[in-house]
Structure formats: C-alpha cells, structure tokens
C-alpha cells in the first residue's frame, strides 16, 4: 500500500490562498508601520542574519521606510521581560539580582548595560 510522505499531505491539504499569503508585496496581516502608524504596510522580502535565521522585511508605502520587526519599541527582548526588569528595579533590586532573576525565569542572558539603558528610557 502506497502512502504519501507527510510534507506532501500537508502541501496537498494547504489551500491555495494560505500558501500564497506569504509572498513579498502583499499586505501583512494586521500590520502597522512602527514609524508613522499607517496600515499600508507590505512584506518586502527577507534577510539572512549572522546566526543563520531569516528575518521578514516590511515596507511602509506611506513613509517609505523598510524595517524588519513590527515592534514599536525596537527591542529584541519580549515586552514582558522588560516590564519585569523595570518592576524589579522599582522594588529596589540591584542589577545583578535582576539579571539573575530574569535568567532563572526566562533563560535570557542580558548585560548590565542593557538594563541600564532600559532604566534610563
């Protein structure tokens, strides 16, 4: 008895519209420009990072800027980790204690310089 490989079954069952949503130039779903807040944002290709990952690029048709993430704050770290670090600092903890707590909870290594920049922003 012949059976299709898993990836073939996935491709066959995937709808045509779903497959073609990821093409560059088409509107990103629920995307907003992080510079001018316009909703006229389109995917504009991708780029390869030094660590081998690919990052989706977006282009705003209103202001013409290209960027790689939709986060308005421009941070690579989750907003939850940032909020927790600020909360711990306001509670009177030292940078070393904050770094240790974030590493234990989120397995994310941060530097004292990063924390310092976050506290001054």
The answer as to whether 36 is a domain residue is yes
State residue 90's pLDDT score.
93
The pLDDT value given to residue 16? 41
Query: What per-residue confidence (pLDDT) applies to 112?
Result: 92
> Who contacts 81 (Cβ-Cβ below 8 Å, separation ≥6)?
102, 106, 108
Domain range spanning residue 103?
A: 79-120
Given this model, what pLDDT does residue 66 score?
87
Q: What pLDDT, on the 0 to 100 scale, is given for residue 13?
A: 45
Q: What is the predicted pLDDT for the residue at 20?
A: 45
Structurally, the chain folds into a number of domains equal to 2
What integer pLDDT is reported at residue 18 of this predicted model?
A: 45
**How far is 15 from 11, CA to CA, in rounded Å?**
8
> What is the mean pLDDT of each successive set of 10 residues along the chain, which is 121 residues long?
49 44 49 81 85 84 82 66 91 93 89 89 75
Residue 2 lies in a domain: no
**Domain CATH number, residue 30:** 2.20.25
Give the model's pLDDT for residue 10: 46
Threshold 0.85, pTM exceeds: no
Is there a domain that residue 13 lies in?
A: no
């Amino acid at each position: 008895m012949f059976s299709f490989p898993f990836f073939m079954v996935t491709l066959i069952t995937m709808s045509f519209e779903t497959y073609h949503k990821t093409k560059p130039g088409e509107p990103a779903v629920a995307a907003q420009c992080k510079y001018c807040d316009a909703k006229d944002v389109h995917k504009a290709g991708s780029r390869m990072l030094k660590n081998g990952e690919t990052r989706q690029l977006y282009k705003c048709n209103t202001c013409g800027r290209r960027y790689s993430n939709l986060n308005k704050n421009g941070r690579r770290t989750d907003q939850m980790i940032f909020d927790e670090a600020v909360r711990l600092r306001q509670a009177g903890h030292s940078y070393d204690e904050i770094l240790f707590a974030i590493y234990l909870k989120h397995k994310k290594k941060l530097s004292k310089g990063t924390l310092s920049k976050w506290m001054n922003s």
